[in-house]
């Protein structure tokens, strides 16, 4: 199947913001409170030697510690490091032979790549430092590495204009390289990150001054940036507003010694635009936020802090500051850029930055000049609501006790304002009768699985026993996709104070409400999809979302179709999945909740020609067994989260939150699982079993 893709032209809206006086971010507590961890040099072993390690690529480890890679080999090998128990610890021993390039966390392990002149490799590493070679990657010159919400890894290859996907759950890890046959192609992709839906990945293309996205099925969309954007695209991150953010940098002429003021001004004029940040919504709308002309901020190094601000360090040779930028939310405008000078040494190069993975309100930095890892504590916002307490005083003593927080009851209401890329979530939060009014923090968690992965910005409401209504509007969602969501609320920092609602779902871009055992909702999400109704003898194009009676045949050979089906007689209880690659009939057994896609396979191509028949007869006379062809006559690719099954001629696969393939071949029905697991029913041998990711099973033809 040829994967289709779309070109989305971005709409530019330039916002020029200078410095603001009101510091809405959590400011750094000051240079004197920064904790500096030196990367050790010394005897060979787990903690050395590394010399000028070139630490970078800070990553939030699954153990709550910061992890980093070392890109310089001055004393016999490369390493991966972490800060734990108040010191830097490095792995492995003996050290790596080739230079590590990028690192991320997935599935409870660290994953990193290395590169050589001709090849690259992928490794996993436990938090105890056990390194395992996982896969050989071609070509070399890997630039970026990130994980999606399913745990799959995405790798950018700028040298060959490719993006690779690695499925760690497979044994060995399954690797697929895009673009394959898709158009348009990514051009020299570099930085990559997970988008707000959890599965679509976003990447930068500095050579084209474009930002691109790639779906789980390999469909690429490239977003052209406004003509006013002139500079080098840096790191791309998912912001606290669920949009993508990219730094754009220009040469820092102010920091170059020996230049006259007039020459600086002349060079700055050549740079058509000052540095700044780009906000890209998942639908491709681009907004540019420019730094002042003489700014010393390095927007190439960009991260989201625990205070929901975007943080950047200064360029080396300037004032050693950190700068915060607060994106706009539904209730507050963007604050602009807030600078805090003198936090790190002025001459040092800060190569990466992340928020504290252990939950502290602080930032971690890699200082390549000083060969250190630095922890910068931030000042939490001052709360104006005093704790609920009772105080009793006698002539001899005073005692204070804090009252237990009241139990909260969050509830979800109906979703409203559903569009192809957004929705409004609504709920209520109440507390027991007789409780005092209580300030409560709340947010809506959402995503394409029950792992969620995204959250609305934390907001505050005053809760009473009568309850208070809360809501949040989501934007930038993937069209025609089912999202899980829930409401989380808490009246103190402890986990025991937090209450969440049961999971619910909604589907973007669709107001279709299929009825159980009656019809399904069908929507083309890419390419060209055809439908033939039961009893008819011709196919028609499926152009928009429609309710189609059960028994219809779908031709998704050249496109992808979203199928929504009812799982109960109660309206709104739906399952959805994406299917492509072949022809199938949509059924739902009477009284059942599972939607069964029956492959409409023809085996005419498997009938032997007269020449082949003669050869087979000759082989039989020689008592040789003839093997059937492995030719695929029909297939369907599925990506669903329960309540779907695909039935081939000889076997059936029922999904359990899965990406899988069912193929009818001349020699039988092949089931192959990419992610998750399926329940396979062998209809020839009458056996049922579970097939996991990275494995396949062939039910041989009779």
Residues whose CB is less than 8 angstroms from the CB of residue 52 and which lie 6 or more positions away in sequence, other chains included: 72, 74, 371
- Is beta strand 644-647 parallel, antiparallel or unpaired with respect to 595-599? parallel
The CA-to-CA distance between both ends of the chain, in Å, stands at 29
Between CA 686 and CA 681 the distance in angstroms is 7
- Is beta strand 574-580 parallel, antiparallel or unpaired with respect to 109-115? unpaired
* Segment (H or E) for 180: none
Structure tokens at 394: 């006698």
Between CA 242 and CA 279 the distance in angstroms is 10
Structure tokens at 599: 């492959």
Q: Where are the alpha helices (DSSP H) in 15-158?
A: none
Between CA 15 and CA 286 the distance in angstroms is 11
- Is beta strand 220-224 parallel, antiparallel or unpaired with respect to 7-9? parallel
- Let me know: does 342 contact 318? Beta carbons within 8 Å: no
Listed as ranges, residues in the chain with pLDDT below 50 are 1-23, 42-50, 180-183, 252-272, 382-405, 609, 611-612, 621-626
- Let me know: does 182 contact 138? Beta carbons within 8 Å: no
Between CA 475 and CA 423 the distance in angstroms is 7
- Biggest alpha carbon–alpha carbon distance for the chain: 113
Q: Of 135, 158, 155, 133, nearest to 145 (Cα)?
A: 155
Residues whose CB is less than 8 angstroms from the CB of residue 661 and which lie 6 or more positions away in sequence, other chains included: 581, 635, 636, 637, 638, 670, 671, 672, 674
- Let me know: does 213 contact 478? Beta carbons within 8 Å: no
Q: Of 90, 129, 89, nearest to 109 (Cα)?
A: 129
- Neighbour count for residue 502 (Cβ, 10 Å): 8
Q: Report all structural domains of the chain as residue ranges with CATH numbers, in order of start.
A: 8-27+245-379 (no CATH), 400-507 (2.60.40.10), 519-700 (no CATH)
């Amino acid at each position: 199947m040829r994967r289709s893709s779309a070109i989305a032209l971005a709409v530019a809206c330039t916002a020029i913001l200078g410095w603001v006086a009101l510091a809405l971010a959590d400011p750094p507590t000051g240079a004197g409170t920064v904790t500096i961890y030196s990367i050790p040099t010394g005897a060979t072993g787990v903690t050395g030697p590394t010399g000028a390690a070139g630490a970078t690529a800070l990553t939030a480890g699954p153990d709550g510690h910061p992890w980093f890679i070392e890109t310089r080999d001055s004393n016999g090998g490369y390493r991966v490091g972490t800060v734990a128990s108040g010191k830097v610890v490095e792995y492995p021993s003996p050290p790596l032979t080739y230079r590590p390039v990028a690192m991320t966390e997935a599935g409870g392990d660290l994953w990193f790549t290395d590169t050589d002149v001709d090849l690259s490799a992928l490794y996993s590493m436990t938090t105890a430092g056990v390194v395992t070679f996982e896969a050989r990657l071609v070509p070399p010159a890997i630039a970026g590495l990130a994980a999606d919400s399913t745990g799959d890894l995405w790798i950018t290859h700028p040298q060959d204009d490719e993006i690779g996907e690695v499925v760690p759950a497979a044994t060995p890890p399954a690797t697929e390289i895009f673009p394959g046959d898709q158009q348009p192609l990514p051009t020299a992709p570099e930085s990559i990150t997970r988008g707000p839906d959890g599965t679509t990945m976003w990447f930068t293309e500095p050579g084209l001054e474009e930002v691109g996205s790639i779906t789980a099925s390999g469909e690429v969309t490239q977003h052209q940036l406004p003509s006013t954007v002139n500079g080098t695209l840096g790191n791309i991150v998912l912001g606290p507003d669920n949009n993508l953010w990219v730094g754009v940098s220009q040469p820092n002429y102010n920091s170059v010694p020996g230049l006259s003021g007039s020459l600086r001004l002349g060079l700055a004029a050549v740079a058509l635009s000052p540095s700044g940040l780009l906000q890209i919504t998942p639908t491709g709308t681009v907004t540019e936020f420019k730094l002042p002309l003489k700014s010393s901020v390095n927007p190439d190094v960009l991260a989201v802090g625990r205070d929901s601000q975007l943080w950047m360090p200064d360029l080396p040779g300037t004032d050693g500051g950190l700068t915060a930028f607060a994106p706009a939310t539904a209730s507050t405008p963007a604050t602009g850029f807030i600078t805090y000078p003198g936090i790190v040494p002025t001459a040092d190069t800060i190569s990466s930055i992340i928020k504290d993975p252990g939950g502290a309100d602080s930032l971690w930095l890699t200082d390549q000049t000083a060969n250190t890892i630095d922890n910068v504590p931030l000042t939490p916002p001052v709360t104006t609501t005093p704790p609920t307490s009772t105080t009793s005083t006698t002539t001899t003593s005073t005692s204070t006790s804090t009252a237990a927080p009241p139990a909260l009851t969050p509830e979800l209401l109906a979703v409203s304002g559903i569009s192809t890329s957004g929705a409004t979530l609504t709920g209520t939060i109440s507390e027991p009768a007789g409780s005092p009014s209580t300030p409560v923090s709340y947010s809506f968690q959402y995503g394409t699985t029950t792992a969620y992965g995204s959250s609305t910005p934390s907001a505050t409401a005053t809760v009473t026993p009568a309850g208070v209504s809360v809501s949040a509007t989501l934007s930038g969602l993937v069209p025609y996709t089912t999202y899980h969501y829930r409401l989380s609320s808490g009246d103190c920092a402890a986990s025991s104070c937090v209450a969440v609602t049961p999971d619910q779902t909604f589907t973007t871009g669709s107001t279709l409400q299929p009825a159980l055992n009656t019809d399904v909702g069908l929507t083309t999400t890419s390419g060209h999809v055809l439908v033939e109704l039961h009893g008819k003898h011709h196919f028609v194009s499926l152009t928009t979302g429609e309710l189609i009676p059960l028994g219809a045949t779908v031709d998704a050979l050249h496109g992808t179709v979203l199928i929504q089906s009812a799982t109960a007689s109660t309206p709104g209880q739906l399952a959805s999945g994406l299917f492509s690659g072949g022809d199938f009939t949509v059924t739902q057994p009477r009284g059942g909740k599972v939607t069964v896609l029956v492959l409409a396979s023809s085996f005419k191509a498997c009938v032997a020609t007269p020449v082949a028949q003669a050869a087979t007869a000759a082989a039989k006379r020689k008592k040789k067994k003839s093997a059937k062809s492995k030719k695929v006559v029909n297939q369907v690719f599925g990506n669903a989260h329960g309540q779907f099954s695909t039935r081939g001629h000889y076997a059936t696969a029922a999904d359990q939150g899965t990406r899988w393939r069912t193929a009818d071949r001349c020699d039988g029905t092949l089931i192959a699982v990419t992610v998750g697991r399926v329940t396979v029913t062998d209809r020839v041998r009458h056996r049922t079993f579970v097939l996991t990711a990275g494995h396949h099973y062939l039910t041989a033809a009779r």
